Amino acid sequence: MIKQPTKYQDFHDPQARPRYTGIATFFRTAPAQDLSDADIGVVGVPFDGGVTNRTGARHGPRSVRDQSTLLRRINSATQVAPFTLARVRDLGDCWIEHPYELETALFEIESFFRTVTEAGVMPLSVGGDHAISLPILRAVADAHGPVGMIHIDAHCDTGDDYLGSRFHHGAPFRRAAEEKLIDPARVIQIGIRGTTNDPDMWGFSQRSGMRVISMDEFADLGWRAVAEEARRVAGSGPVYLTYDIDSLDPSQAPGTGTPEAGGLGVHEALRLLRSLRGLNFVGGDLVEVAPPFDIGTLTAFNGASILFEILCLLAEAFAARKGA
């Protein structure tokens, strides 16, 4: 007789069976269709129709799922055990039926995430390019009002129209501010750098009141002071965390469409994230992992490791609200 688990839940304890076995789900969590069974839903958004340069992030969710199976149950730095704090489930991929129609696709993503947030499930998404954060924020803001946001990225993504589109991956947070999904006074953008063709490229961020921390300022201040500044800016209200993998130095995250030299080290990024414990997180995402440019799954693995830190933050926030 062939031995196989009767229920996928048999895999829910990553240590119960070898971590390299079974179908890859995010962190080897049980897949769920039933939203009443989930507190935090990890969702793949395999869409990169908003990319302005090198495509490939549509392959991100599958690669991050695979690499996330390497991770274990407990964060040894903080002792946080996210799977005991909340029911974490892999909700599968956001199904996009019109991937070649940018605005239609974004509405489809929005509709999917409304289903998630309206069921009271906190979304943790894996893109996909950064354009996907706008429709996710539409759903999140509907549930929580304009949110604060901690945005770690080489780019502010507050550009405007590009080649006739207002919804490419360089503009989601200008749109989000215009649509009052985020409160610019409670937004901090960390790791900004690189070349630009427009001297006012990131002017919107500053004029709207966002706190922009360039990579140079980050290097001068260090992760500890930057984390303190992020806590001050985000305050006690609901806050969303969006992590663009291109914030990392290209040597540690080559698999991304728009690399910029001289970025965060993975360890700095992990320490920065761990220092955000206790904020009132209501969702998060990891975007721009583009496996076609990756080298030996380095980017997807570092991305999965960052995703685990974000999961820990969300799980603690969930447990704090539940206990309150």
**Among residues 108, 157, 183, 285, which is the contact residue for Mn ion, using CB under 5 A?**
157
Total binding residues for Mn ion by CB under 5 A? 7
Q: Which is nearer to Mn ion, 244 or 309 (CB)?
A: 244
Q: Looking at residue 20, what DSSP letter applies?
A: T
Stretch that binds Mn ion, among 75-83, 104-112, 124-132, 297-305 (CB under 5 A): 124-132
Q: Looking at 244, 285, 294, 309, which residue binds Mn ion (CB under 5 A)?
A: 244
Q: Give the nearest distance from C-beta 246 to Mn ion in angstroms.
A: 4
> Taking CB under 5 A as the rule, does residue 304 contact Mn ion?
no
Distance CA 167, CA 246 (A): 19
Q: Which of 15, 3, 9, 55 is nearest to 34 (CA)?
A: 9
Distances (CA, A) of 34 to 14, 115, 138, 157, 269: 21, 11, 22, 34, 33
The residue (of 57 and 315) whose beta carbon lies closer to Mn ion is: 57
- Smaller CB distance to Mn ion: residue 132 or 282? 132
Residue 257 beta carbon to Mn ion: minimum distance, rounded to whole angstroms: 8
Residue 168 touches Mn ion, criterion: CB under 5 A: no
Can residue 130 be called a binding residue for Mn ion (CB under 5 A)? yes
- Prior bond to 296 cis, omega within 30? no
**3-class SS of residue 49:** coil
Decide whether 208 or 280 has the Cβ nearer to Mn ion. 208
Q: Is the dihedral of CA 211, 213, 218, 223 positive or negative?
A: positive
Q: How far is CA 150 from CA 92, 186, 195, 226, in A?
A: 25, 8, 22, 11
Could you say which DSSP state residue 57 is in?
G
The interface region with Mn ion, picked from 6-14, 27-35, 122-130, 178-186 by CB under 5 A, is 122-130
**Contact predicate 147/233, CB 8 Å:** no
In the region spanning residues 15 to 44, those forming contacts with Mn ion, defined by CB under 5 A, are: none
Give residues in contact with Mn ion (CB under 5 A).
130, 153-155, 157, 244, 246
